[in-house]
Amino acid sequence: MRAQQHRFIDLLRGRGVDVVLADQAPGSYGQHYTRDIGFVIDDVFVVSRLHSRRRQGEFAGVRRLVERIERVAYLDAGTIEGGDVMLHDGLVLVGLSEETSPAGVDALRYQLDQLGSERVVQPIGFACGGIVHLDDHFNIVAPEVALVHPGVFDDAQMRWFAEHFDVIPVTGAEAAAVEVNALALGPGVVVVAERSERIAAELDTRGIEVIPVDYSEVTRIPGAFRCSTLPLARASTVMPSPGGQQFERGLGDSTAVDLDLHSAGAGGEFAAGR
């Protein structure tokens, strides 16, 4: 598992991303999925309220990194985890999974209002129980392109996805293998599991560069590429997409490629799991 993680980190660094390993949090022995500890919305780092008591000490591992961020928001109610949060076109999409509560969504909405954010917080519901995080069943992998596992969403939610994205349906077996949990390295570059051959082919037909990586030992926990990275700092330089449309790289009015990018180029900064 550690060897696979280091190969993934080498890939990120090779693509210009600054990777900072989280500190070891005292008493946290499953401290691998840093995505859940917090999330960045525009220039605000939001500290998550983790649902699992055994995970609540993990924030100590990124405290020194968060201290470098000028604007930090702490929520005062409910639970919410980074694996349930995505950005899309002025929206903050939040999955109502087992780890994120309606009270947590309300607390996030209140904090963003207090900070003057114009983003709209939109909950995403599920048609069944047992969902750990949104990004295991829905993931925006490129501007206007999303992987979706239809088996866990109702018809109304699927219609909303179809109205806003070029949807690539994912099978139950692929979702169970955590293949939805890919990571966008940029507007047209996606890291996927080595075994995700069908998904890779779908992305390739859309002109998206696919980087297959063996993460099979890591996903035994389970979790994958998006889970084990926590974006810390994003730029908002407007860049043209391959199709000519304009979209933001990173934050701002991003079409939700969930990646940190420095304004100077294709770099970024992540906190990786310990």
Instruction: Please tell me the number of Cα atoms within 13 Å of 126 on its side-chain side.
Output: 25
What is the per-residue pLDDT for 174? 97
In the predicted model, what is the mean pLDDT of residues 204-208?
97
Q: Measured between alpha carbons, how far is residue 224 from residues 32, 34, 118, 146, 177 in Å?
A: 10, 11, 31, 17, 9
* pLDDT tens string 83-113: 999 999 999 999 999 999 999 999 999 999 9
Contact 182, 139 (CB under 8 A): yes
pLDDT of residue 151 exceeding 80:
yes
Rounded to an integer, what distance in angstroms lies between the CA atom of residue 62 and that of residue 259? 18
* Higher per-residue confidence, 253 vs 199: 199
CB environment 189-209: b (16+ within 10 A), e (fewer): bbbbbebbeebbebbeebebe
What is the per-residue pLDDT for 154? 98
What is the per-residue pLDDT for 32? 83
Minimum mean pLDDT range among 37-51, 90-104, 200-214: 37-51
What is the per-residue pLDDT for 112? 96
What is the per-residue pLDDT for 28? 79
Split at pLDDT 50, 70, 90, the class of 246 is: very low
Q: Position 173: which residue type? A: A
Which residues have C-beta within 8 Å of that of residue 238, sequence separation ≥ 6?
Answer: 246, 247, 248, 249, 252
User: What would the 3-class secondary structure string for the chain be?
Assistant: CHHHHHHHHHHHHHCCEEEEECCCCCCCCCCCCHHHHEEEECCEEEECECCCHHHHHHHHHHHHHHCCCCEEEECCCCCECHHHEEEECCEEEEECCCCCCHHHHHHHHHHHHHCCCCCEEEEECCCCCCCCCHHHCEEEEECCEEEECHHHCCHHHHHHHHHHCEEEECCHHHHHCCCCCCEEEECCEEEEECCCHHHHHHHHHCCCEEEEECCCCHHHCCCCCCCCEEEEECCCCEEECCCCCEEECCCCCCCCCCCCCCCCCCCEEEEECC
Contact 268, 257 (CB under 8 A): no
257 C-beta neighbours (distance < 10 Å), count: 26
What is the per-residue pLDDT for 31? 79
pLDDT of residue 237 exceeding 70:
no
Rounded to an integer, what distance in angstroms lies between the CA atom of residue 56 and that of residue 76? 14
What is the per-residue pLDDT for 228? 92
Contact 255, 88 (CB under 8 A): yes
Most confident of 3-7, 21-25, 55-59, 165-169: 165-169
Residue 47 Ramachandran class (φ > 0 left, ψ -120 to 50 alpha, else beta): beta
